[in-house]
Amino acid sequence: MAFLYRGSLEDPGGRLRDLLRSRDIIVAPGVYGPVFALLAERMGFEALYLSGAALTGFLAMPDIGLITLSELATMTRYITRVVGVPLIVDADTGFGEAINVARTIRDLEDAGAAAIQIEDQVMPKKCGHLPGKSVIPAVDMMKKIRAAVDARRRDTLIVARTDARDVEGLEGAIERAQLYVEAGADVIFPEALRSLEEFREFARRVKAPLLANMTEFGKTPYISVQEFREAGYKVVIFPATLFRISLGAAREALEVLKSQGTQKSLLDRMMSREDFYKLIGYRDYEERDLRVSAEIEELYRRIGYKKP
Q: Where are the domains of the chain?
A: 9-239, 271-303
Instruction: Kindly give the pairing relationship between strand 26-29 and strand 211-213.
Output: unpaired
Total-model pTM: 0.94
Whether domain 9-239 has CATH 3.40.50.970: the reply is no
Written as one string, the DSSP assignment of 122-177 is PSSP--TTSS---B--HHHHHHHHHHHHHH--SS-EEEEEE-THHHHHHHHHHHHH
Q: Where are the beta strands (DSSP E) in 215-285?
A: 235-238
Q: How would you write the pLDDT of the chain (308 residues) with one tens digit per residue?
A: 677 777 778 899 999 999 999 999 999 999 999 999 999 999 999 999 999 999 999 999 999 989 999 999 999 999 999 999 999 999 999 999 999 999 999 999 999 999 999 999 998 888 878 888 899 999 999 999 999 999 999 999 999 999 999 999 999 999 999 999 999 999 999 999 999 999 999 999 999 999 999 999 999 999 999 999 999 999 999 999 999 999 999 999 999 999 999 999 999 999 999 999 999 998 888 888 888 888 888 888 888 766 66
Bridge partner residues of 190 (DSSP):
162
Nearest in space to 148 (alpha carbons), one of 160, 134, 164, 161 = 160
Amino acid occupying residue 233: Y
CB under 8 Å to 15, separation ≥6 — which residues? 9, 85, 86, 114
